[in-house]
Amino acid sequence: MRLVKLYLVVVSLFITKITNAEEYQQVHACDEYAAHPNDPNRWAAGITDEQIIPGPSVKYCREAVEAHPDTPRFQFQLARALWAAYQFEEGLDVFLKLENAVEYGPVYAYLGDAYLYGIGGLEVDQELAVSLYVIADEFGFPPAGEVLAALSADPSIEAIPDDVDTASVTQSEIETTLASRADSMNRSDSGQATRLQTAAVESPFSRSDYLESNVMEGLYHGNFQKVSLGTTKYIKADTALFYLQGFLEPFSQNVNFLDGTNSCIDLYQPALAKHITFKVARGAPGSEVLFGGDLNAASRQGWQMMGEMLGGLANGGGMMNNSITQTNINMALLKTNGEKDAVRLIKRYGCESDTVKRVFANVTAFAMDRAPVVSTQEKARLKEEQALRLRQAEADRQLGLRTAAAESCVSQFKKQGFCDCLVRDLDKAKISDAEWGGLGSSFKQIIPLGRKYEGLRDSLKACRSGG
């Protein structure tokens, strides 16, 4: 079963869905184990997706749905529990059936996740995902607004302006709303966006202060080539994502004493952490089983990994003597280093500083595959790099013209030494590019050039006698 496209989804908000009034009006174990803390319909304090304990949550919520099928919150909570247990297809089916039966705001956010990341075998459809987040946000489900803010690459702005009527939002309007906010870090008094990379003065930065110095330097300057750590034999996602998972940890605390303020939590985006987690999961061994794909390939990889581990045992190297174990250790170390580097950054600059804001903006940009926020130094480096490329391209072009002329000369006169000598003298005469091109096509063009450039005839005679 699949949701219809945006216009039908929006219209569905205004179609009356029948809800049985006989809902369960007491706290159930399913509520205690799987209620969402932002669900307006919850009957318990609620826990985050990461805190769900799959086993009892699935058990109690199945029992709740069977005993009280007309209580929508139990269906929603069962679907959350199934996803926590990596039973994505069944969980998606529960979400879709719930959406089809009643108006339940939070379910739209989870369906947005499904289309954004291709969960449960769905085809990725970012436009539809955005529309679903918009609907969930309109229902008053805050995590949906956080995702929209993350997708706009600007966590400091609201997902949808107060004056936008969600009922009339179209796909193009959503895209326009998001695009108008991208790459905005501050707003001037006139209301125009001023990006951090345009700041003339920046806090001093020393790469030697950090454990992963290349990654931190890349995040500070907006050079993603330095941030990227590549993939491994069994991990298809960029391993820098493990570092970023750890980096986000110090920012997630509601009270953060590292910089003496609570400004760090203002930068933190739960939706960003969730996005990184899904990207890591998609690149992990066996991701085809979780997200759909070539199960045969996943099976082959599983046997390959098992063979490598057994080979290490057979060779007397133990469980540590294989790339799988070493990769796990390295990824755990990357995550730890990310957390420690974030602590060092916060202590040195504070979360209200331009330095930390730019670094965090680049964490978001790298994870979301967006353009970086570059520093003044990086802009200068890129400008010089571009100038160098242009100079090299011109040098290559000029060499190509002379090489073609020399080859044309050898083709006509069959004398390499004579032609090399003549090309050097033509270079001294500073003939035009068009004339070089003519010689490359036919070296007979040397005749009119001998009349045009003084001394060229003498050079021709000298080269002939020397060649």
pLDDT along the chain (467 residues), means of 10: 39 39 85 94 90 90 94 96 87 92 91 85 84 90 85 45 40 36 31 32 73 94 94 85 93 64 77 87 65 62 62 60 73 91 88 89 92 88 88 93 93 90 91 93 88 85 78
- pLDDT score recorded for residue 433: 93
In whole angstroms, what is the distance from residue 238 CA to residue 276 CA? Answer: 10
Note the pTM of the prediction, 2 decimals. Answer: 0.51
CB 358 within 8 A of CB 375: yes
Q: How long, in residues, is the chain?
A: 467
Helices 72-84 and 88-101: crossing angle in degrees, nearest 10, is: 160
DSSP SS3 for 194:
strand
In whole angstroms, what is the distance from residue 428 CA to residue 161 CA? Answer: 67
DSSP 187: E
Q: Can you give the C-alpha Rg of the chain in angstroms? A: 31
Domain boundaries, the chain: 6-177, 203-374, 380-466
Specify burial of residue 345 (Cβ count, 10 A radius: 0-12, 13-18, 19+).
buried
Tens of pLDDT, residue by residue over 163-182, are 334 434 443 443 333 333 33
DSSP 186: E
**Element holding 193 (H helix, E strand):** strand 193-194
Task: Look up residue 286 and give its two tokens.
Answer: 């066996």
- pLDDT score recorded for residue 303: 60
Identity of residue 364: T
CB 228 within 8 A of CB 235: no
pLDDT above 70 as % of the chain = 73
